[in-house]
Amino acid sequence: MKRKTNFSSHVITMFIGLLSSVGDWPILLAVRRGLTQVLPLILVGAFALLLLNLPFPQIKTVLDAVAGENWYNLCQIIQQGSFGIASLAFLISISLAYAQQRGDVLAGYRVNTTATTVVCLSAYFVVAVPLNGSIPPGFFSLGGGLPIAFCVAVTSAPLFLFLMDHSLLTKYLESVGSDPEVNNALAAIPSGFATIFLFGIVRILMENAGWGDLHHQAQNFFGSPFKDAGNSLATGVGYVGLSQFLWFFGVHGPNLLFGVEQDILRVASQANIDAAIHGTEPIFILTKQFIDSFVHLGGSGSTLSLLLAIFLKSREKNIRRLAVISLLPALFNVNEVILFGLPLVLNPIYAIPFMLAPVIQTLVAYAATALHWVPMTVNNVHWTSPILLGGFAATGSVAGALLQLVCLGIGTLVYLPFVTLSNSLYARRFDKEIKGLGIAAESTSTSPSGRKCIDLPGQTGLFARVLAADLGRALDRDDQIFLVYQPQVDVDLGRIVGAEALLRWKHPTHGLIPPHITVALAEDTHLISDLGMRVLSDACMHHSVLLNQGETDQILSVNLSAQQFEDEFLVEKVVEILRKTGVKTNMLKVEVTESMVLTPDVKTISILKRLREMGVRVAIDDFGMGHTSLRYLKEFPVDTVKIDRSLTLESLDGINDHIVTSIVSLCEALGVQIIVEGVETEEQLERFREHRCSFFQGYFFSKPISGEAYVELVRGQVK
């Protein structure tokens, strides 16, 4: 049994890894991001479509009485301006997202996002627009040019950037001393010309093959398997399965299979209605009302089932919010919001349930009707009729409404495992991006604009920009940014002498974000001053509690970023916070990084000297990462050196001990205090005790704790 369980776990892990790899393909990431960016257009179009197709005549009568025809005309205009141009919107958004995602340097030039989008747009018109220039109504709509727009976007953008990276003519077009943007535009000429020219050749080949009207050709191709099909279960399963398959690729399945609907489903519907009128038994199970009532719950793909599964299992807050937004349209079987907002289109995670759930629902509903548990559909019901009402109206029976609930539950059960799988993939992707941001945040390299994280290419850069925006909002709240304190101990006295205030950011979706990433994002977005002052203020407020209880000898250590020293009013801000909280200057210790010592700046040193003259102490954090900084200690205004945790590890060649000996000897000569960071074991403690160190900080003594716990720890120590 254990071996079978391990095998199953291994298979699931491999499946998750495969989906993760496929989902991380640059073009699929661009498609998902591009579709999401057009969500406002899809949302307003969906509500306009819903109002135009309300299943309740009474509401239409009220709207007519209040606004006349204006409300209807307004909805038509909005639908034309949203769904009517969706193909163009998706094409532009996907090509732009792909170019932004690449974000790297091609042939010595930054990816030109504008040129990429323009070239893709041109390629689309070259391939799609009729040769006579006459564009028929609905040509750019969701059901019109969307399939071609998808195909062009996912091929023309990669082709253009590939050619740009390998063009032999690019270097000949640049001009020394010119505006970089002009040079970037010139560099795009050869690859842009080649891309559009190649799509022009494709168009000529299509015309010669008689494929001028691709939509008509596609209707004939996909409708051909059903030409001689009868009204049977096989026809229903084939129609539903193929329709879902097409929808997965962004193609309006029912539109391409319109012949099946017209010649089989609607004919059967009318025959059943006529039979009911004449008092005879209906004979067709498979009708348009059957599909609309029991399969398209929430729209194609039974997306109402997906929404229910999301509410039950999803841990992604953005997805849950999208589900809430999608719920009202989905109740009336308008599913474009979830279809293009999640998105379901080209989403490998939901490919299986998106196609499988409607097929299973078809089988179940067909069996229930064939067994006479549910009457056949005998009434015309508008496709926007909500669940329960639609099933009851179509069959004239409560059993129809109950069958809808059963189908909804079955669809939900099909989607649930994949929502759970989405949670796992989301967590894996988050870990991957956090790891990438962590490496960038700790690196000394920056983009040309001086930023570490938010200019990174690809998904990591996108994730950094999302987090940076969230950090800005978090600073305006009181429930995300908080501090913990790690006590500092004098082992000679056997008591706590202070604590370092450590920043924590608990993101509402992603949980705790590593502090060095938070700081790097704040520096990238010039929020570091606000964040630094927030940390200092909160730390001093907590420390004032100790003051009020008579603990006046505890030293509060707070980190300052190098970027904060660019603020000419830094000293004044520190003084104001100390004044408001009542913390004395000699109780505050500001910590700066060793890199600031290695590259001392006149302005920084001036600010630190002013703080020291006021009584504020200065510490160098992570000292020893580059021990060449020893020679700067004499000039740098410093009271304390914190030996980096990397030196607490005993090296095989003893080099770490030699470095520590040098640091201790120099600090003793200069009268500088030493605090050893990262002490986790008694062996480490004893080794540094042999080096005459007395002050320590690390998990051996205490992990970082809340402000309240720190106060209690200080109050409870033996004096």
Q: Residue 177: its pLDDT value, please? A: 45
Q: Residue 599: its pLDDT value, please? A: 62
Residue 410: pLDDT band by 50, 70, 90 thresholds? very high
Mean pLDDT across 132-136: 75
pLDDT in tens, 508-538: 888 899 999 999 999 999 999 999 999 999 9
Q: Is the pTM of this model over 0.85?
A: no
Please report where in the chains the tokens 């932004």 appear, as a residue: 100
Residue 439 has which token pair?
């490496």
Tell me the residue type at 383: W
Cα distances (Å, whole numbers) of residue 281 to 140, 265, 378: 44, 18, 10
Residue 628 has which token pair?
């060449």
CB 269 within 8 A of CB 289: yes
User: CA angle at residue 209 from 205 to 215, to 5 degrees?
Assistant: 95
pLDDT in tens, 66-82: 888 888 889 899 988 99
From CA 333, how far away is CA 327, in angstroms rounded? 10
| SS3 call for 122 | helix
Residue 10: pLDDT band by 50, 70, 90 thresholds? low
Residue 588: pLDDT band by 50, 70, 90 thresholds? very high
pLDDT in tens, 152-203: 998 999 998 888 877 665 555 555 445 556 666 777 788 888 999 999 998 8
CA torsion sign for 700, 706, 710, 716 is: negative
| SS3 call for 376 | coil
From CA 562, how far away is CA 557, in angstroms rounded? 16
Q: Residue 457: its pLDDT value, please? A: 76
Q: Residue 168: its pLDDT value, please? A: 64
pLDDT in tens, 338-372: 988 888 888 888 999 999 999 999 999 999 999 99
CB neighbours of 144 closer than 8 A, spacing ≥ 6?
87, 138, 215
Go through the domains of the chain in sequence order and give each one's CATH number. Answer: 2-212 (no CATH), 227-245+256-428 (no CATH), 481-504+526-716 (3.20.20.450)
Tell me the residue type at 584: K
Residue 444: pLDDT band by 50, 70, 90 thresholds? confident
Mean pLDDT of the chain: 85
Q: 129-133, 213-217, 221-225, 398-402: which has the highest mean pLDDT?
A: 398-402
Q: Residue 53: its pLDDT value, please? A: 87
pLDDT in tens, 213-224: 666 777 788 888
Tell me the residue type at 114: T
Residue scoring higher pLDDT (411 or 423)? 411
Q: 206-215, 526-535, 637-646: which has the highest mean pLDDT?
A: 526-535
pLDDT in tens, 651-702: 656 777 888 888 888 888 888 899 999 899 898 899 889 889 999 999 999 9
Residue 504 host element (H or E): strand 495-507
For the cut 60, the answer to whether the pLDDT of residue 458 exceeds it is yes
Q: Residue 37: its pLDDT value, please? A: 85
pLDDT in tens, 21-64: 665 677 777 888 888 888 888 889 888 888 888 888 888 888 88
From CA 681, how far away is CA 703, in angstroms rounded? 13
The closest alpha carbon to 466, from 430, 499, 490, belongs to 430
Residue 521 has which token pair?
């994002």
From CA 343, how far away is CA 28, in angstroms rounded? 11
Q: What are phi and psi of 274, to 5 degrees?
A: -60, -40
Residues present in the chain in total:
719
Residue 156 host element (H or E): helix 146-166
Please report where in the chains the tokens 């976007």 appear, as a residue: 153
C-alpha neighbours within 13 Å on the C-beta side of residue 653: 2
- Lowest-confidence segment of 106-120, 471-485, 620-634 by average pLDDT: 620-634
Radius of gyration of the chain (CA): 33
Q: Report the percent of the chain where pLDDT is more than 70.
A: 88
**End-to-end alpha carbon distance in the chain:** 59
From CA 38, how far away is CA 308, in angstroms rounded? 24
